[in-house]
Structure 1
Amino acid sequence: MLTTTSALVAAAHAAHTGVAAFNVIAIEHAEAVARAAEETGLPAILQISENAARHHGDVAPLAAAVAAIARASRAELSLHLDHVEDADLLHRTAECGASSVMFDASRRSDEDNVLATRAAADWAHEQGLFIEAELGEIGGKKGSAHTPGVRTDPEQARDFVAATGVDALAVAVGSSHAMTDRTARLDLDLVARIAAAVPVPLVLHGSSGVPADLLGAAVRRGMTKVNFGTRLNVAFTGAVRAALAAAPDAHDPRPYLANARTAVAAEAADCLRTVSVG
């Protein structure tokens, strides 16, 4: 069933557990996550990034497919737009069937980030949408909240949430985007300090590079929404490579895409179980 991100995040936050969010690039990604959620009995968030929307030329076709998959599923699934910088795409959130958006103004100066995010949050709340955001230059370092080496200051995080009115905050505690090995080390004490300072649910981006035990520990310390992307893509492309290597003359994409979907479902199920801790 298609539900709202706010409902899934609020339930996880109240229960002191986590909810996994998965970036979708192809329809097979969404089908795989729906299968994993049904098998585990756990909810999941299906995310379409601005980069994925650009890849397809428009967000609408992929969003329509993802929403249809969610509606047909027995699992609780929501649709979310991720890392949206473009104002036009932001304003199409509800139109494409998503109930939430991560507005990313982290490339801007601190002042511009606050002003832009406040405006985005005001607009989103007028539409009944849930909005996530992140700080930009943190701790004197340039870049987003998930640039290697950056760490979120709890007081800055508290002030940012108060100034912008966002519903969830992505924080920097040691993870990085696009990691293909699980060697990231999270600062669990920092997670707990931010959770104590910030009144909204916390979001971990770049979770693919974090070992399972640390992800579970981060959830227990106060992390709520846990994002995965690269792990699914590694499983997807690995399955495709293996299938084509075994049948180099194959020309029908359906068999190897089916293998990829199965591999992604297994990976997503593992992620779901990992973050569903109390």
Structure 2
Amino acid sequence: MLVTLNDLMPEAASSQGAVPCCNVFGIEEAQAIIAAAEELNLPVILAVNKDMVDLAGVESMAGMLLPMARASSVPVVVHLDHCYEEAIVYRAIHAGFSSVMFDGSQLPLEENIRRTRAVADAAHAVGVSVEGELGSVPYQEGRDHIKSEFTDPEEARIYAEQSGIDVLAISVGNVHRMTEAGSPINFPLLDEIESATSLPLVIHGTTGITEADLRKLKTRRIGKFNVGTTLRMAFGNAIREAMAEEPNKFDKQYFAGKAIPALKQEAMRVLTLLAADKE
């Protein structure tokens, strides 16, 4: 079933677990991730990132993902990830995305509030949830213009109160696109942010965080963890192995099909890790 972040985040943020937000780049990833969520009977978020927006456009991605989300036996959010342009956010809303992220993290605080507020007002008018970011989560590679800046707790309070967002992405040592875990998380800073705002919080760069820290973080007021690199590695490595084993074959769909089980297995690992531990 298609849902919004507002259907999931209040409970997730107050529980001992969280919901993974998985980047999808095609139908294979979407099928594998939804299948993993259905097998575990857990909700999941499918995220469309800037690379896919630039390649395919939000309308094409909505056309692919929305029917799959609606047909799923578990709650599925179709979410627009980091978007810096309001025009694209509005196109995504019009196309049917149930959730959007306007990323004003590179802007001065007042401008970030003003522009995010306009997006939130438009999104909420049609029942779409909104994520914003304060501070700036850096990238290990790929987007050198993105700054690295911890979230300021007092600015987080002001931004949360005035921007109209539903969930707040924060920077506490997490880093996008790391291929190995090891990002040092600033837990004292997280304490201050949690004291400053009652909004559900979001962590980007999950692949770069150690399992021990993820187990701590999921028990805090973090309702959503963005996951991309570990899923891409599982899928890509499986395709590479299959192609090496059968060098005379060349059909994309054949090799993607060979790799889907590895991707589903990794998605199940992530879903299980971030879910509340069973007593």
- TM-score when scaled to structure 2? 0.91
Q: Distance in 2 between matches of 1:150 and 1:84?
A: 18
Q: Distance in 2 between matches of 1:50 and 1:96?
A: 16
Amino acid at match of 2:60: P
Q: Distance in 1 between matches of 2:49 and 2:121?
A: 21
Q: Distance in 2 between matches of 1:253 and 1:120?
A: 38
- What secondary structure, in the 3-state scheme, does the structure 1 residue paired with 2:66 have? helix
State whether residues 27 and 62 of structure 1, in contact with CA within 8 Å, keep that contact through their aligned partners in structure 2.
no
The answer for the alignment partner of 1:101 in structure 2 is 100
State whether residues 173 and 191 of structure 1, in contact with CA within 8 Å, keep that contact through their aligned partners in structure 2.
yes
1:1-278 correspondence to structure 2 within 5 Å = 1-56=1-56, 58-135=57-134, 138=135, 144-146=136-138, 150-277=149-276
- What secondary structure, in the 3-state scheme, does the structure 1 residue paired with 2:219 have? helix
Q: Distance in 1 between matches of 2:41 and 2:90?
A: 33
- What secondary structure, in the 3-state scheme, does the structure 1 residue paired with 2:93 have? coil
What whole-Å deviation, never above 9, does each CA across 1:107-146 have from its counterpart, x for those lacking one? 22233222211221222222222111112xx4xxxxx234
Amino acid at match of 1:4: T
Q: Distance in 2 between matches of 1:147 and 1:112?
A: 23
- What secondary structure, in the 3-state scheme, does the structure 1 residue paired with 2:248 have? coil
Q: Distance in 2 between matches of 1:252 and 1:51?
A: 23
Q: Distance in 2 between matches of 1:260 and 1:62?
A: 21
State whether residues 53 and 59 of structure 1, in contact with CA within 8 Å, keep that contact through their aligned partners in structure 2.
yes
- What secondary structure, in the 3-state scheme, does the structure 1 residue paired with 2:28 have? helix
Q: CA RMSD in A?
A: 1.7
Question: Where does structure 1 lack aligned partners over 5 or more consecutive residues?
Answer: 139-143
- Report which stretch shifted further, 103-112 or 199-208: 103-112
Q: Distance in 2 between matches of 1:145 and 1:209?
A: 12
State whether residues 175 and 208 of structure 2, in contact with CA within 8 Å, keep that contact through their aligned partners in structure 1.
yes
- Runs of 4+ off more than 4 Å: none
- What secondary structure, in the 3-state scheme, does the structure 2 residue paired with 1:106 have? coil
- TM-score when scaled to structure 1? 0.91
Report how far residue 4 of structure 1 moved. Answer: 2.2
